[in-house]
Structure 1
Amino acid sequence: MAGMIRKSLDEPEETRPFEDGKGRVDLVNLEAGVVGRAVFEPGWQWSKHVKPIVQTDSCQAPHVGYVLSGRIKVVMDDGEENEFTAGDYLSIPAGHDAWVIGNEPCVVLDWQGYADYAKRHG
């Protein structure tokens, strides 16, 4: 049986900043995969602040997570849309854009989609 593991997102193993200082994703690596906490600042939008980094038409990372604070709107490539707010569980397939609603940062814990999120390639 494995022992306990303690890691802190306040002392991440990796941090990936978004364009224009509009936030970041902090990451810790676990045997089961990467867990991340994203801070999306007011005015952040995936297509403006992450797309230039990853160079895909839409976000291709599927997300499974929990919204700690703030609000975010997600629009799928097929037009389906939803808003998520503090206290919401979220499951979002690949193929979407997203942006912060309001003047409060949106903070999201994600245990599926951040392994390659906002990662520069090449």
Structure 2
Amino acid sequence: MPGIVRKNFDSADETRPFEDGKGRLDLVNTDKGPVGRAVFEPGWQWSKHIKPIAGTDSCEASHAAYVISGRMKVVMNDGSEGDVGPGDYFSVEPGHDAWVVGDEPCVVVDWAGFANYAAPAGSAS
């Protein structure tokens, strides 16, 4: 195994588009597991643009992520909520909705929750 592995999201192993052209997930596969970069366009909301793909009532992925740019609001099924923005690391447990806040795309890198994100129903959300 080489001491340095380099992958570039612009040459992702897989790209998954979101509904209505509201963004995409670029996924790179590593020996330590998949890492994803998602671009959530203004107007994107999980319940509108991923729910039809995932087939679950809320996002059932657990996220460990870093926000590169833009802002997002996350609301848990129990009603607790929080906003994340540039420079923030955040973790979110399964059972939530989320949406872009403002007019700038929200770009997020996630090490935990994007393996099956935006994959067809039955794969996870």
What is the TM-score with the length of structure 2 in the denominator? 0.95
Does the residue aligned with 1:97 lie in a helix, a strand or coil? strand
Spell out structure 1 runs of 4+ moving beyond 2 A: none
Which runs of 5 or more structure 2 residues have no equivalent in the other structure?
Answer: none
Q: Percent identity?
A: 66
2:90 & 2:25 partners in 1: Cα distance? 17
Q: Distance in 2 between matches of 1:70 and 1:97?
A: 17
Partner of 1:103: 103
User: For residue 83 of structure 1, what is the aligned residue in structure 2?
Assistant: 83
Partner of 1:7: 7
User: 1:2 Cα deviation (Å)?
Assistant: 4.3
Q: Provide the rounded CA distance (Å) in 1 between the counterparts of 2:16 and 2:101.
A: 22
Give runs of aligned pairs for residues 1-122 of structure 1, distance below 5 A: 2-121=2-121
Uncovered stretches (5+) of structure 1, i.e. residues with no partner = none
Q: CA contact under 8 A between 2:55 and 2:121: conserved in structure 1?
A: no
Q: Which amino acid aligns with 2:22?
A: K
Number of matched residues? 122
AA matched with 1:104: E
Counterpart Cα distance in 2 of 1:100 and 1:121:
23
User: Residue by residue, what CA displacement relative to the aligned partner does 1:45-97 show, whole Å, maximum 9, x if unpaired?
Assistant: 00000000011000000000100000000000000100000000010001000
TM-score by length of 1: 0.97
Deviations 1:6-52, CA, capped at 9 Å, x for gaps: 11011100000000000000000011111000000000000000000
Per-residue deviation at 1:121? 3.9
